[in-house]
């Protein structure tokens, strides 16, 4: 395998990871927005047990998406920055 092919493979994998990270961040932040909206709806109308469960589920799943998404996003950005600094 040549160096050019190896670099292209790395860039392709990095782009794939970036797409997955972007999706995870959108889902995570979207679920946090839904949880916030549901919270204010519950605040205005009185909390029902089903509404509280939906809020908790949105927060837990949103956090499960955001936590690794943020870490991987930081790593991907650092890799792109390192490539730019090294002229790759």
Tokens of 66: 């955001």
Is residue 87 a part of any domain in this protein?
Answer: no
Question: What pLDDT shows up at residue 4?
Answer: 64
Domain that holds residue 14: 3-82
CB neighbour list of residue 42: distance below 8 Å, 6 or more residues apart: 48, 51, 52, 55
Count of structural domains within the chain: 1
The residue among 86 and 81 whose pLDDT is bigger is 81
Is residue 18 a part of any domain in this protein?
Answer: yes
Q: How many CA atoms lie within 13 A of 32 on its CB side?
A: 11
Is residue 88 a part of any domain in this protein?
Answer: no
Is residue 50 a part of any domain in this protein?
Answer: yes
Is residue 73 a part of any domain in this protein?
Answer: yes
Say what the pTM is.
0.83
Tell me the pLDDT tens digit for each residue of 1-48.
566 678 888 889 999 999 999 999 999 999 999 999 999 999 999 989
Among 49, 50, 54, 17, smallest CA distance to 35 is for 54
């Amino acid at each position: 395998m040549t160096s050019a092919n190896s670099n292209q493979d790395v860039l392709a994998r990095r782009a794939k990871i970036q797409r997955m990270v972007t999706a995870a961040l959108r889902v995570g932040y979207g679920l946090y927005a839904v949880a916030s909206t549901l919270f204010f709806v519950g605040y205005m109308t009185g909390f029902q047990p089903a509404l509280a469960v939906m809020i908790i589920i949105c927060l837990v799943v949103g956090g499960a998406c955001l936590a690794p998404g943020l870490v991987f996003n930081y790593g991907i950005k650092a890799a792109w920055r390192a490539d730019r600094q090294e002229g790759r």
